[in-house]
Amino acid sequence: LPHWSAQRIQTLARVGLPVAIATILGVLYLRILVIIMSLVSGRPSQGGYYVTSTRVLELVGGLPFLVVAVVLPVVTVAARDDHERLVYMTSRIAQAMALVGVLVALLLWTLAGPIIAVFGGPEYAPAAAVLQIQGFASITIFLTAAWQPALVAMHRLRALAISMITGVAAVVIAGLILIPPFQAQGAAVAAVIGDTVLCGAVYVAIRGGKTGDWLPAEGVLRIAGAAVPAVAAGLIPGLPSVVRAVL
C-alpha cells in the first residue's frame, strides 16, 4: 500500500507550515485591530466606524491577490530557469501594483464620504475620516502582493512567514498605543503603520534571497511625480468629491 515516509512528511512540513502561518496571519491581519478596538476603546460606535472602513478596504485588498494567483506559475518557472527574468518580471509587476495602489488610495481619500454613505448609511458618516486614513494602506497592500510570488518561487517561505509575524507585531503595538487616545482614527493609522512595516519586511526578505533591482528608483519617482499633482488638486477647498476623484 502507498504510504508517506517520515522524510517526505518532514519535507512537506518545511514547505507547507510557513505558507500556512503566512496565510492565517494574512487573514487575521486587519481583524486584529477590530479585536483591540473592542478591548481598549470603550466606545462601541468607534469600533463600528473602524469595521465599516475595514470592510471597504478588504474589498479592495482582495484584488491584488487575484493577480498573484495568475502570475505565480510564471514567476515560479522564471525563478527556476532565469533569475534575471524573475527580477525583471517582479520589478514590472511591483511598479504596476504600486501605481494601482496609489490610484486606489487617492480614490478612497477623495470618495470616502460617498463610499461610506453607500456601505453604512448616514449614521456611519464619521467612518469616512477613518477610511481616508486607512485607504493609504492600499499602496503597501498592492506592493506587498507583487513581491510575495517571488518569495514563494524562490522557496523563501520562512522569510515570508517572519515578515507576516513582523507586520502583525507592528499592528498590535501601534494599535495598543494609538487606539486609546485616537479611537477609530488611531486604529486606521495603526493599520497603515502595520502594512508599511510588513511591506518593508517583505522587501528586505526578497532582497535577502538574490540580488536584483526589485523596485527601480526611477519607477517610484515617476509614480510619486504623478501622485503629487493629484494630491494637490484634492486639497483645493470647495471641490465636490467626484470632481476631486476625476482630477
**What value, to the nearest 5°, has the Cα angle with vertex 84 and ends 78 and 88?**
85
**What's the count of helices (H) and strands (E) in the chain, helices before strands?**
10, 0
So what's the pLDDT on residue 226? Answer: 73
DSSP track, 167-227: HHHHHHHHHHHHHHHHHHHHHHHHHHHHHHHHHHHHHHHHHHHS-S-SS-HHHHHHHHHHH
Over 60: is that where the pLDDT of 91 sits? yes
Over 90: is that where the pLDDT of 177 sits? yes
Average pLDDT over residues 23-47: 82
What is the overall mean pLDDT for the chain?
84
pTM of the entire predicted model: 0.85
Over 90: is that where the pLDDT of 102 sits? yes
Among 25-34, 149-158, 236-245, top mean pLDDT goes to 149-158
Dist. CA 158–CA 239, nearest whole Å:
48
So what's the pLDDT on residue 245? Answer: 52
So what's the pLDDT on residue 70? Answer: 82
Q: Is the dihedral of CA 230, 234, 235, 239 positive or negative?
A: positive
pLDDT single digits (tens) 50-75: 999 999 998 888 788 788 778 888 88
pLDDT single digits (tens) 191-223: 999 999 999 999 999 988 667 788 887 877 787
Over 80: is that where the pLDDT of 43 sits? yes
**Cell 473592542 sits on residue:** 38
Average pLDDT over residues 114-122: 91
Q: How many CA atoms lie within 13 A of 61 on its CB side?
A: 21
Average pLDDT over residues 136-142: 92
**What value, to the nearest 5°, has the Cα angle with vertex 16 and ends 13 and 20?**
125
Average pLDDT over residues 100-118: 92
Closest CA relative to residue 118, chosen from 56, 67, 73: 56
The percent of residues above 90 in pLDDT, for the chain, comes to 40
Q: Select the more confidently predicted residue: 166 or 240.
A: 166
